[in-house]
Amino acid sequence: MVLIGSLMTLSIVAGAFAWGALRPVKQPAPHEEYVQVETVAEAPLPTPSQGLVVEDLRVGTGALARSGAELSVHYTGTLKDGKVFDSSYDRHEPFSFTLGRGRVIKGWEQGFSGMRVGGKRRLTLPPELGYGTRGAPPKIPQNAQLVFEIELLGVK
């Protein structure tokens, strides 16, 4: 009787083992990892479709250039052929203006927007974002494409 009971227990255990081995094993869900990206709403940068080409030479980490802010900048302006027509570096004096007031050429309004203090950019402007059909004689001819290396020194 002990033998029959042992055989019965053994068959129950074997059956349970077989049943467990044959049933589908639930696979754990694939590990999904989400990274939260924080987007800071800043002034929109110009797009190439507007004709302005913006190259960040050094990305700043300071205050943001926004419309209405007074900016202190250094710059060198050249024609497409590389001839310098103006430079605040040569005068050893930064230039200041208020962004968004229309007191500088459109390419500067767009090119400084969204920049941070400490940043340096190269802006390539089509004539319509510079001095257009009239130019700025004698240094800037009509319909001139302009290249500026700009540096944002301060924002007030």
Q: Which residue in 97, 105, 112, 150 is the catalytic one?
A: 105
Catalytic: 85? Answer: yes
- From 56, 95, 148, 150, the catalytic residue: 148
Q: Return phi, psi of residue 150, to 5°.
A: -120, 150
Query: 111 Cβ partners below 8 Å, 6+ apart?
Result: 46, 52, 54, 121, 123, 125, 148, 150
| Residue among 112, 131, 140, 150 flagged as catalytic | 131
Residues in the chain: 156
Do the Cβ atoms of 83 and 147 come closer than 8 Å? no
Residue of 127, 133, 132 whose CA lies nearest to 147: 127
Instruction: State yes or no: is 86 an active-site residue.
Output: yes
Active site residue 75: yes
Of 12, 17, 85, 97, the catalytic one is: 85
Which one of 12, 34, 56, 75 is the catalytic residue? 75
Reply yes or no on whether 97 is catalytic. Answer: no
Could you list the active site residues?
Answer: 75, 85-86, 105, 131, 148
